[in-house]
Amino acid sequence: MNDMSPPGAISSYSVRDGIAVLAINSPPVNALGFPVRKALDEGIRRAVADSAASALVIRCDGRTFFAGADIAEFGGELKLPGLNDIFAVIEGSPKPVIAAIHGTALGGGCELALACHYRCALRSAKLGLPEVSLGLLPGAGGTQRTPRIAGVAMALDLIVGGRPISAAKAETAGMVDRIVDGDLEAEAVAYARQLVTEKAPLRRIRDMSVDLDLEAAQAAITTYRVAHSRQFKGFKAPGHIVQAIEAAVTLPFDQGLAREWELFEELMASTESGAQRHLFFAERAAGKVPDIGRDVKPVDIGSVTVIGAGTMGSGIATAFLNIGLPVTLVDREQQAVERGAANIRKTIAGMVAKGRIAEDEGGRRSALLSTSVDLPGAVSGADLIVEAVFEDLELKKAVFAQIDAAAKADAILASNTSFLDLDAIAAATSRPEQVVGLHFFVPANVMRLLEVVRGEKTSDVVVATGMALGRKLGKVAILSRVCDGFIANRAMAPRQAAADALILEGPLPWEVDRAMVEYGFPMGPFQMVDIVGVDVIGWDRENSAGRTVQEVLCEMGRWGQKKNGGYYDYDEERRAQPSPVAEKIVREMAAKTGADQHRFREPEIVERLLYPVVNEGAKILEEGVALRASDIDVALVTGYGWPVWTGGPMFWADSIGLPAIVAALDATIGADAVSPLLRKLAAEGGSLT
């Protein structure tokens, strides 16, 4: 008996060979929002009452089994039935309920599967409990059932790690009973029929006991906590997850479930989870360009030529090789191009050595690399040319003129410039509409941020192609208009300026760095300058005259980690120590300014350095350089390691309250320097995100 469900219905019910099949269809990922939960509840109860059905298979249409609760629902009132209510109906069923899994059974989807009596999955399917990446924990029994079926160690790895596992690995862990190929519904029905025929028990994970005694479980948990303490820093969820898993070991199931829900609600209400949920949607919003519709199809890129075999060029070439595109690496000198190619092959070999890719895959990628010192010849057949030469406008214009003369008519010409005027570069060609900025961050094959820079004349197709390339490269593509520094570098520049000014008022460079690391950055501004090179950013060698700490350091030949140390001294293992030389320079420079010297508490240092970043972000927004505030958050989180648990500068500013930030900026950088948009929003009780 089959339902004739109307097209587009959220669920369909049928009985095949005495087995009920409840199929849910809620694109794009069958998220377990209220309509889906209601349809599930009704369908399961119908199957339980249906005398024609001796078992029930639950499956999904579309690309995946339930990919979790509907994140968009969070923070609002939870309409019943909740997931635990539905799972109680499943576990109370007098007939076996079988989950038929394809795609990615994540979060609540994985929990639903664990509440079923049995589970079958397509070989290509994945299961996971990634709630930790949303600052949450599995709130529908995941922390209670997983330790029971898969053990404490696996539960910790799966839930605190948050990474999905293959169906095969899940089968090994006992989370999947049968792996199937081909027609999932037919295979699941056959499996259900077999279970009925064999009078298989109504096996409920809630009735199982955790495989470890309390002492062993505690030991496993302590070991995990110690091994992953860095990952726990700043985040609430990992610690809460461990507590929930402890409850699975120490409490009866229903009490453990209640404890899990308590911990879940604490996390749901936390700023950290709000920040991480903000970034989840922000990353997806970033890919949307409002004035470019889906009808604008990206160009298919089949080959890439990278010009410049230095650090950036080699990293960019590696990024494209990693997605299987053939790359020609070009430089003026044979020696330079060979050095670049050697670095690329070394990086790929490193990925093989670390087991991140198989040896044959490493070989395939390396084989896709070719080198040339003949620019015209190397660009003539390429679909995409990426220029990554020295940051000098005249040099870039000359290179683009050469590319323009040799590239095929529909080639896309991209510059990796980090702050030069893309429109001026485009003007050096006969095809400005085909010129775009692809600004990678060092190391280009690792950093997730890719700024796609839209010039005045860049065509929609080229913009769409740049954004699509970002996704294909596994990066987050953020669209930027042309300005000095685009989004990430421009927004973060005030942090360095504020840090340089602050060390003349009392704090030492390492005290400033420590405050930034405590806030959550991987390193502070002075540690960063020493690594990049004290001489690299903003030092005017010709006119240097000992007027700033940077000038004095550079004039002494203290150019950072690479040469004689900088703000820090380095031992032979490049371990950094605060430099007495630098301290003396700072103290003397501070004395010259006559500024009052005093100690700053860490929160004051955070305000002085980061509120100006919020201000610059507001200017980037009001000038239309960035499409939305959340793009600025994603750019700084993925490009500068801005701590995820704050949501990024704009979300963080909203969580502090814009009036307080504007008042502090008025007192430090002066009212005239404050973004009018920021002041307006603060006055109106508005928010940036």
Nearer to ligand T1G, 305 or 638 (CB): 638
Q: How far is the CB of 67 from ligand T1G (least distance, A)?
A: 4
Q: State the number of CA atoms in the 13 A half-sphere of 629 facing the CB.
A: 23
Q: How far is the CB of 564 from ligand T1G (least distance, A)?
A: 47
Neighbouring-strand partners of residue 305: 328, 385
Q: How far is the CB of 63 from ligand T1G (least distance, A)?
A: 7
Give contact residues for ligand T1G (rule: CB under 6 A). 28-29, 31, 67-72, 83, 104, 106-108, 111, 130-131, 134, 136, 138-140, 142, 284
The rounded distance, in Å, linking the Cα atoms of 583 and 578 is: 8
Residue with tokens 């969580």: 655
Nearer to ligand T1G, 29 or 449 (CB): 29
Nearer to ligand T1G, 237 or 375 (CB): 237
The rounded distance, in Å, linking the Cα atoms of 583 and 591 is: 12
Nearest C-alpha neighbor of 477 from the set 522, 533, 439: 439
Task: Report DSSP letters for 528-563, one per residue.
Answer: HHHHH-TTTSS--TTT--S-SHHHHHHHTT--BTTB
Nearer to ligand T1G, 131 or 451 (CB): 131
Q: How far is the CB of 140 from ligand T1G (least distance, A)?
A: 4
Count of CB atoms situated within 10 Å of the CB of 457: 15
3-state helix/strand/coil string of 73-121: HCCCCCCCCCHHHHHHHHHCCCCCEEEEECCEEECHHHHHHHHCCEEEE
The rounded distance, in Å, linking the Cα atoms of 393 and 421 is: 8
Size (the chain), residues: 689
Tokens linked to 480: 């930027």
Task: Report DSSP letters for 125-138, one per residue.
Answer: -EEE-GGGGGT---
Q: How far is the CB of 198 from ligand T1G (least distance, A)?
A: 32
394 sits in the region (left: phi over 0; alpha: psi -120 to 50; else beta) called alpha
Q: How far is the CB of 5 from ligand T1G (least distance, A)?
A: 23
Tokens linked to 520: 């959550």
E-state strands within 184-316: 304-307
Nearer to ligand T1G, 130 or 315 (CB): 130
Residues 6+ apart with CB under 8 A from 265: none
Q: How far is the CB of 36 from ligand T1G (least distance, A)?
A: 11
The rounded distance, in Å, linking the Cα atoms of 107 and 162 is: 9
Helix (H, G, I), strand (E, B) or coil at 403: helix
Are 414 and 438 in contact, with CB atoms under 8 Å apart? Answer: yes
3-state helix/strand/coil string of 172-192: HHCCCCEEECCCHHHHHHHHH
3-state helix/strand/coil string of 451-517: EEEECCCCCHHHHHHHHHHHHHCCCEEEEEECCCCCCHHHHHHHHHHHHHHHCCCCCCHHHHHHHHH
The rounded distance, in Å, linking the Cα atoms of 652 and 654 is: 5
Burial of 618 (0-12, 13-18, 19+ CB in 10 A): buried
Nearer to ligand T1G, 111 or 246 (CB): 111
Nearer to ligand T1G, 83 or 414 (CB): 83
Nearer to ligand T1G, 6 or 28 (CB): 28
Nearest C-alpha neighbor of 131 from the set 209, 38, 235, 51: 235
The rounded distance, in Å, linking the Cα atoms of 494 and 80 is: 48
The rounded distance, in Å, linking the Cα atoms of 507 and 605 is: 9
Tokens linked to 280: 């989840």
Nearer to ligand T1G, 131 or 187 (CB): 131
Q: How far is the CB of 240 from ligand T1G (least distance, A)?
A: 13
Nearer to ligand T1G, 83 or 279 (CB): 83
Q: How far is the CB of 412 from ligand T1G (least distance, A)?
A: 24
Nearest C-alpha neighbor of 643 from the set 233, 75, 226: 233
Q: How far is the CB of 241 from ligand T1G (least distance, A)?
A: 11
| Cα distance between the two ends of the chain | 50
Q: Indicate which residues carry an active-site annotation.
A: 111, 131
Helix (H, G, I), strand (E, B) or coil at 24: strand
Are 111 and 87 in contact, with CB atoms under 8 Å apart? Answer: yes
Q: How far is the CB of 143 from ligand T1G (least distance, A)?
A: 9
Q: How far is the CB of 138 from ligand T1G (least distance, A)?
A: 4
Nearer to ligand T1G, 22 or 112 (CB): 112
Nearer to ligand T1G, 70 or 551 (CB): 70
Nearest C-alpha neighbor of 177 from the set 98, 124, 107: 98
